[in-house]
Copies of this chain bind each other. A is one copy, B any other.
Amino acid sequence: MRELLDAVADGTVSPAAAEAELRGYATGEAGRFDAARDQRRGVPEAIFAEGKSIPQVVALAETALETTGRALLTRVSDPQFAALEDYIAETTPDATIDRHSGAVRVMTVDYEPPSLEATIGIATGGTVDEAVADEAEAVCLDAGATIDRVDDVGVAALSRTLDQLDRFRDADVMIVAAGREGALPTVVAGLVDTPVIGVPVSSGYGYGGDGEAALAGMLQSCTVLSVVNVDAGFVAGAQATLIAQAIATARD
């Protein structure tokens, strides 16, 4: 601990990073950032941007970058993204910014991304499901997994689905996102022996719209699926990552 405090004293470690290492979380202006989550949970804490003000989002990203060398944000709006870009350009201009629909990854130049020897398959039923799948993909990429992404293979035209069967079977774990009636994860899970995580998407309209029919259909599925909340791309990606990490660890 003395070593760490010395490092704070001479400026090679920021106070936030030191606090994070000592207490497990860092107290910033916009709240406590769970910097130790990556180590404790295997997946980093993501900053859920929806409903937060622009200064809160930027401050939380700052704390994340200071303590872990990277930031992962979800449900980032256009104005939030613009402010974030400005902030990064000013403070750490050599950092990398990756945007996957609403999800944003920022990595400082010193950050060494992890590597994960496993393939996560991601499939979507239609064009409107892609933003949710992008969020899932961002967190899987962040963990270093290999991604095999297949879009627009909904069951209304079943041959589109069946054409991709070999790719589904080769993944270590599958994320399947679908809106409307949400039947794609059921059909896929009936044909592979990979664990499948269903992600209902808030498309649809009328009765069962906003993802409710898809959620209910996945929970009622006659095959074997586990499910995350409507549009919860981050959770699906993080859960798939945990499974992929367990597999990759066993491979070692």
| Cα–Cα, bound, A51→B181 (Å) | 16
Residues of A214-243 at the interface with B, using a CB-CB cut-off of 8 Å, are 214-232, 235-236, 238-239, 242-243
- Asked if A215 meets B207 with Cβ closer than 8 Å, knowing A52-B127, A183-B181, A246-B243, the reply is yes
| Cα–Cα, bound, A112→B139 (Å) | 41
- Copies of this chain, complex-wide, total 8
**Whose C-beta in chain B lies nearest to the C-beta of A183?**
B183
Residues of A24-40 at the interface with B, using a CB-CB cut-off of 8 Å, are 24-25, 30-32, 34, 36-37, 40
**Whose C-beta in chain B lies nearest to the C-beta of A210?**
B206
Q: Is A211 an interface residue (CB 8 A)?
A: yes
With both chains docked as a complex, state the minimum distance between the C-beta of A28 and any C-beta of chain B, in angstroms.
Answer: 10
* B193 contacts A186, C-beta separation under 8 Å: no
- Which one, B127, B181, B224, contacts A220 given CB within 8 A? B181
Q: Classify chain A: how many residues form its interface, as a range.
A: 35 or more
Q: Is A126 an interface residue (CB 8 A)?
A: yes
| Cα–Cα, bound, A163→B187 (Å) | 16
With both chains docked as a complex, state the minimum distance between the C-beta of A244 and any C-beta of chain B, in angstroms.
Answer: 9
Segment at the B interface, from A3-11, A65-73, A85-93, A149-157: A149-157
With both chains docked as a complex, state the minimum distance between the C-beta of A148 and any C-beta of chain B, in angstroms.
Answer: 15
Residues of A91-120 at the interface with B, using a CB-CB cut-off of 8 Å, are none
- Asked if A190 meets B32 with Cβ closer than 8 Å, knowing A219-B229, A229-B207, the reply is no
* B225 contacts A41, C-beta separation under 8 Å: no
- Which one, B31, B37, B180, B195, contacts A221 given CB within 8 A? B180
* B181 contacts A42, C-beta separation under 8 Å: no
Contact partners of A207 in chain B: CB under 8 A = 207, 211-212, 215-216, 219-220, 229-230
A-B residue pairs in contact (CB < 8 Å), sample of 11: A32-B152, A37-B157, A154-B222, A155-B190, A183-B183, A195-B239, A208-B229, A219-B227, A220-B229, A225-B235, A246-B246
Closest 5 interchain pairs by CB?
A: A208-B216, A206-B230, A213-B216, A250-B250, A226-B226
Q: A41-B223, A173-B246, A195-B239 are in contact. List 4 more A-B contacts (CB 8 A).
A: A31-B152, A56-B127, A206-B211, A213-B216
